[in-house]
Amino acid sequence: MDDYTRRSFIRTTLPGFLGISMALPGITAVATRARAAEGRLPEGEPIHWDAFLEAIAREAAKQHLDDWSEPAYVERAARIAGRLNLKDPELAKAFEQAKEGIGDGRVDFERLEKQQDFQISLVQFEKGEQISHHDHPGMTGILLCAAGNVDVWNYDELRKSPEEGHVLLRQTAKARLQKSSVSTLTSQDRNIHRLKARQLTQLVDIFAPPYTQERVRKSRWFDVDAEPYQGEGRDFLAKVR
Ligand SMILES: [Fe+2]
């Protein structure tokens, strides 16, 4: 698959989507274990799914405070994500179940969790599948690679564009994520990204605040020139689709 449309994105993130939604009670019902476990675990120890949810919920709740710092949040949340025990049986079950999407010719999205302040999705790519340039309006994101190998390019939109009807995107990061690697974006930095999998890849994506109909509507997809603007550097001319 070379691309996917906004429509398919909306459809595939709707609640009740196949697969993981059926596993949700199993994943979330154990949340009570979290409180006890998180407090006692030594720093740096792997944490299970429910402790992870608890920790992310606590950090994401701070977005309502006046002194909320997105860069500080994504750093903390990335650290929490890096501690998630990917062998947690409940999570492993979700990863296994997602494999039912293999061979369907598109990137698979499964919702793992949605709360008022954040949402977590499982995103699965087969080798060569990609998600083209898009943004996340007003949102922060943390991408944890649970399995596989995927290239991620991040961009910032520059204020001024040299050509009418176009925007200028500056590539600000490029990373190859492998198991346990994390990539982050804030509403201001690295917010636009593009992903392409080098092999079967499963990502756990944490978005805070979560998608709403309004944020989905505001999301933009870009057609980006293959070559940099004026043939050199890291700025690329792009058109909003
Ligand atoms: Fe994205």
> Ligand 1 mean position to 33 CA, how many Å?
31
> Ligand 1 mean position to 207 CA, how many Å?
9
Those residues of the chain that have pLDDT short of 50 are: 1-39
Q: pLDDT value at position 18?
A: 35
3-state secondary structure of 228: coil
Residue 52 burial class via C-beta count within 10 angstroms: exposed 0-12, middle 13-18, buried 19 and up: buried
> Ligand 1 mean position to 136 CA, how many Å?
6
> Ligand 1 mean position to 172 CA, how many Å?
15
Q: pLDDT value at position 177?
A: 98
> Ligand 1 mean position to 39 CA, how many Å?
32
> Ligand 1 mean position to 143 CA, how many Å?
9
List own/partner pairs for 229-237 with CB under 8 A and 24 or more apart: 229/162, 229/168, 234/170, 234/171, 234/172, 235/158, 235/168, 235/169, 235/170, 235/171, 236/155, 236/168, 236/169, 236/170, 236/171, 237/161, 237/162, 237/163, 237/166, 237/167, 237/168, 237/169
DSSP string, 103-129: TSSS-EEEEEEE-SS-EEEEEEE-TT-
> Ligand 1 mean position to 42 CA, how many Å?
32
**Cβ neighbours for 81, distance < 8 A, ≥ 6 positions apart:** 52, 56, 142, 144, 182, 204, 206
Q: pLDDT value at position 45?
A: 83
Calculate ∠ Cα 28-29-33, nearest 5°. 95
> Ligand 1 mean position to 154 CA, how many Å?
10
> Ligand 1 mean position to 134 CA, how many Å?
6
> Ligand 1 mean position to 90 CA, how many Å?
25
**pTM (2 decimals)?**
0.84
> Ligand 1 mean position to 30 CA, how many Å?
29
Q: pLDDT value at position 121?
A: 95
Residue 118 burial class via C-beta count within 10 angstroms: exposed 0-12, middle 13-18, buried 19 and up: buried
Q: pLDDT value at position 88?
A: 92
> Ligand 1 mean position to 219 CA, how many Å?
10
Please report, for residues 1, 74, 189, the alpha-carbon distance to residue 5 in angstroms, rounded to integers and kept in the order given.
Answer: 11, 27, 24
> Ligand 1 mean position to 227 CA, how many Å?
22
Q: Is the dihedral of CA 87, 43, 182, 217 positive or negative?
A: positive
CB atoms under 10 Å from CB of 7, counted, come to 8
Q: Domains along the chain? A: 6-240 (2.60.120.10)
> Ligand 1 mean position to 194 CA, how many Å?
7
> Ligand 1 mean position to 36 CA, how many Å?
33
